[in-house]
Structure 1
Amino acid sequence: MSCKALLLSATASDQGKTTVTAALARKLARAGQRVRVFKTGPDFIDPMLLAAASGGDVDVLDLWMCTEAQCHALLAEAARECDYLLIEGVMGLYDGQPSSADLARHFGVPVLAVLDCSAMVGTALAIARGLRDHGRLPWAGMLANRVASPGHADMIRACGTAELPVVGHLPRQAESLPERHLGLHLPSELPDLAARLDALADALQLNDAVLASLPAFAPVPQAQPALPPLLAGRTIAIARDAAFAFLYAANLRTLTGMGATLAFFSPLADEAIPADADAVWLPGGYPELHAATLASNLRWQHSVQAFAASGKPLWAECGGMMALTDSLTDTDGQSHAMAGVLPGSVRMGSKLAALGSQGWPHAAGELRGHTFHYSSFDTPLAPLAHCQRKDGRAGGEAVYRHGSVQASYFHAYFASNPAAAAALFLSPSGTAPC
């Protein structure tokens, strides 16, 4: 089985890649096509929106964090099950190590350049040619975004050639997908998201002949090693709501693949940790946007305090760690009492505090992931360990241990090292990463 595949990239961030990818996925899905979408690089929010657009799960692809073999396996499985496989790139086409261009070249996926044409016509084709020729990439063409009028679209389309076709265009949108400090709004916060996606799909104009001429994409399946049953018989309680929403689908698959039973609960709804939980995972998210609610939810707070006191393992990453501190000061300068499990306080900042891929050393090998946050944690706790930046520079995230609680700004990608990930949810006495 094979499919048509596209990697949508651009010259830089903020060119509208997510909007165009969502519009294309929605348009194809509404036409009865089976669509699978992937996102390049570490990202939580874009995959949620792309999943809403396509109607299916969206995984991330990163040749470093996810490993080449896992990326290959994900693409091969998807190609067998879909008609169109779309990959949204990260930043600009050649930005990052590895870059979106590296992914396209490695797997032979044609690139569709999404270009902001709001103030250009023929120059867009020159930019597309430069993007293609700089890395000698497989090429599908360009799609003009933020087009001002039908006449503007006609002029851009007339500049296209057989080797550099204009695959389509999306007019400038009066109301697009809203953003905030960590990215786009969550789908759960947009009650009209379906209507927004339908409007984008309706507005997107495509050259069906160019899409039909795309080569078949059929990567050869590769066998993946079976996951060790390190978590067999264990129930892991996972916070999941608008405040704790940053969960990779691959992380959940890795836990269940190692035998764990997953039980979800909502701190925002003041739900207690399930009584049968053997371990807890508090993932990242937006606790700063819901700090007042979390501060008033005493049932949730008492349950996490009791769980930490029980000595059972608890892993808290980024937003999950923030919710366990003594207090959180939001962007308005308001201080809110948190669960008080970790000594210290968190303060939101107006500038990005950390961004990038990192790895956490472990006896079983490196557990890979990334960091992305605006807040800072002031604590008397001494770090148990430090992560290492992918580029080798100093300044990796601190990892803290307080009793049986382990916490960090580091977001772990469990599939990069299942054995190290399992250790987070086992007894911390000698088995956890260090």
Structure 2
Amino acid sequence: MPPARCPALFIAAPASGQGKTTVTAALARLFKRQGKRVRVFKTGPDYLDPQILAQASGAPVAPLDLWMAGESYCRQRLHEAAREADLILVEGAMGLHDGEPSSADLAARFDIPLAVVMDVKGMAQTAGAVMAGLAAFRRDVRFAGLIANGCATARHRELIASALPAQFPLLATLPRDPALALPERHLGLVQANEIESELEARFEAGADALQAAGFLTALDALEVTFAAPQNALPIPAATLAGHTVAIARDAAFSFIYQANLDLLEALGASLVFFSPLADTRLPACDALWLPGGYPELHAEALSINHAMKSAIRTFFDAGKPMLAECGGLLYSLETLTDVEDRPHAMLGLLPGAGALRGCQGMQTAPLPEGEIRGHAHHRSRTNGTPTPISVGRRQRHPAPGEAIYRERRLTATYLHLFFPDNPDAVAALFARHPVCDTPSSETLDHAAR
């Protein structure tokens, strides 16, 4: 397939908390309201930022990660986007050079020019020094310029612009305005569906500020050539044809990659959604997926929905396939302590209790069905859980990763799995009948692992 050309910009920063998502969302909205087709991607594993960016751009937002998804996956998604879009935006993760692979690695691999978002509160000419340092750190990335966030006055802007190296223009400034910032909580940004109308006002205000700064002409010279992968991603066999997978999706369970849904459908599965918070019965289904989310914020409502808990227990007792990730794992335990330190009864499919704490990292899940790459990002811990059948293998550290539990056909773990990494293993996880030995956690000696 021939290469495709499209203007593209990579939104990066020297650190977290500089306003990357605010700026990316404002850019997406600015160009969307000009009638442009905008495709946005998010670097690395993330559920919350993509929700925000999807609302701002009006199109689904996919993760790009050279380790979790692989270069061929990233290349194919960018090539597909370039064939249909008028603009591609990629939001980075953490600081530009943080992580392995980093945002800089991704930008360099696909030669996407970088716009650095910097919170300039409390600095002026130093912004120029930071930009010069970022540019000098490695030579294989190209910079479009600086977006100064939190710029106080016209004089503040002048001081920053005067100190920038000649090759790094000041693309735009955003004022110090609480109306532009996006609301946050303990795992990051507040979910988009909780504050849709509020977000709309923030998107429009941000777009207005960027338009006033002249950003509509800033991308004229930023066209990028996106080549298709040498070998297109294989189309998986429809091994789940005739299967229905029920997926929990509501305010408590919403950490779902669109790529995972697409993969299940490519495997032939029919997808139905239900709410453990509001519904009283499961939809007719062959397999069940309880994804991550915020069950700790809704523990009481989950606890008192006895009809739904009974329906899921009956499904579990029937030996049908279930996957419970992070928040789904917490829901599967006996109790969950909420943010106000009150314990609530959960499903009781696994022994143990959950409470708030923190952990994160990229890991591979070694399952009986095959290895699947994913990540952990949670602010909770468990205790009293059974012996796991295996533990996650960290990307670059020898310490054991997250525990993986198996009871009957339930697979439960803190890991969020990226289904496209291993379609065959995902198909086996959700198949009506086990296709490999899936021992109960009680039969395995974890100490020997």
- Same fold by TM-score greater than 0.5: yes
> For residues 313-355 of structure 1, what are the alpha-carbon distances to aligned partners after superposition, in whole Å with 9 as ceiling and x for unaligned?
1110100111121111112111111122222211123xx2x21
Alignment of structure 1 residues 137-152 onto 2, 5 Å: 137-152=141-156
Partner of 2:233: 224
Choose the corresponding residue for 1:324, options 313, 320, 332.
332
- 1:39 is paired with a residue whose SS is strand
> For residues 62-97 of structure 1, what are the alpha-carbon distances to aligned partners after superposition, in whole Å with 9 as ceiling and x for unaligned?
000001100000000001111111100011111100
Is residue 370 of structure 2 the alignment partner of residue 375 of structure 1?
no
Q: CA deviation at 1:377?
A: 1.4
* Equivalent AA in structure 1 for residue 83 of structure 2: R
Partner of 2:267: 258
Take 2:95 and 2:313, find their aligned partners in 1: how far apart are those partners? 44
> For residues 260-303 of structure 1, what are the alpha-carbon distances to aligned partners after superposition, in whole Å with 9 as ceiling and x for unaligned?
1101111111342112x000000000000011111111221111
How many residue pairs match? The answer is 430
Take 1:168 and 1:30, find their aligned partners in 2: how far apart are those partners? 18
2:110, 2:226 within 8 Å by CA — same for their partners in 1? no
Partner of 1:36: 39
* Equivalent AA in structure 1 for residue 150 of structure 2: R
Choose the corresponding residue for 1:101, options 104, 107, 115.
104
Partner of 1:238: 247
- Structure-2 change in CA distance of 1:30 and 1:249 (3 Å): same
Is residue 55 of structure 2 the alignment partner of residue 46 of structure 1?
no
Take 2:17 and 2:56, find their aligned partners in 1: how far apart are those partners? 19
- 1:368 is paired with a residue whose SS is strand
> For residues 180-217 of structure 1, what are the alpha-carbon distances to aligned partners after superposition, in whole Å with 9 as ceiling and x for unaligned?
11000001111422112111211222444432122333
Alignment of structure 1 residues 259-408 onto 2, 5 Å: 259-275=268-284, 277-349=285-357, 352=358, 354-362=359-367, 365-408=370-413
* Equivalent AA in structure 1 for residue 399 of structure 2: A
2:239, 2:427 within 8 Å by CA — same for their partners in 1? yes
CA RMSD of aligned residues (A): 1.7
Structure 2 residues not aligned, in runs of 5+? 440-449
* Equivalent AA in structure 1 for residue 201 of structure 2: A
Partner of 1:192: 198
- Structure-2 change in CA distance of 1:235 and 1:35 (3 Å): same
Q: CA deviation at 1:158?
A: 4.1
- Structure-2 change in CA distance of 1:140 and 1:432 (3 Å): farther
Take 2:16 and 2:10, find their aligned partners in 1: how far apart are those partners? 15
> For residues 34-66 of structure 1, what are the alpha-carbon distances to aligned partners after superposition, in whole Å with 9 as ceiling and x for unaligned?
111000011000000000111100000000000
Q: CA deviation at 1:160?
A: 4.4
Take 1:173 and 1:232, find their aligned partners in 2: how far apart are those partners? 51
Take 1:57 and 1:67, find their aligned partners in 2: how far apart are those partners? 20
- Structure-2 change in CA distance of 1:208 and 1:163 (3 Å): farther
Take 1:432 and 1:96, find their aligned partners in 2: how far apart are those partners? 36
Partner of 1:249: 258
- Structure-2 change in CA distance of 1:215 and 1:433 (3 Å): farther
Partner of 1:4: 7
- 1:193 is paired with a residue whose SS is helix
Take 1:48 and 1:149, find their aligned partners in 2: how far apart are those partners? 32
- Structure-2 change in CA distance of 1:171 and 1:384 (3 Å): same
Q: CA deviation at 1:108?
A: 0.5
* Equivalent AA in structure 1 for residue 299 of structure 2: A
> For residues 156-178 of structure 1, what are the alpha-carbon distances to aligned partners after superposition, in whole Å with 9 as ceiling and x for unaligned?
33444551111111111223211
Take 1:17 and 1:192, find their aligned partners in 2: how far apart are those partners? 18
1:265, 1:271 within 8 Å by CA — same for their partners in 2? no
Take 1:216 and 1:371, find their aligned partners in 2: how far apart are those partners? 33
TM-score by length of 2: 0.92
- Structure-2 change in CA distance of 1:429 and 1:226 (3 Å): closer
> For residues 375-394 of structure 1, what are the alpha-carbon distances to aligned partners after superposition, in whole Å with 9 as ceiling and x for unaligned?
11123411011110011321
Choose the corresponding residue for 2:183, options 178, 182, 185.
178
Q: CA deviation at 1:304?
A: 0.4
Choose the corresponding residue for 2:160, options 145, 151, 156.
156
1:79, 1:219 within 8 Å by CA — same for their partners in 2? no
Is residue 218 of structure 2 the alignment partner of residue 210 of structure 1?
yes
Take 1:18 and 1:121, find their aligned partners in 2: how far apart are those partners? 22
Take 1:48 and 1:206, find their aligned partners in 2: how far apart are those partners? 27
| Worse overlay, 234-243 or 173-182 | 173-182
> Identity, % of aligned pairs?
48
Q: CA deviation at 1:395?
A: 2.3
TM-score by length of 1: 0.95
| Worse overlay, 237-246 or 216-225 | 216-225
2:350, 2:385 within 8 Å by CA — same for their partners in 1? no
Take 2:438 and 2:106, find their aligned partners in 1: how far apart are those partners? 30
Take 1:271 and 1:369, find their aligned partners in 2: how far apart are those partners? 31
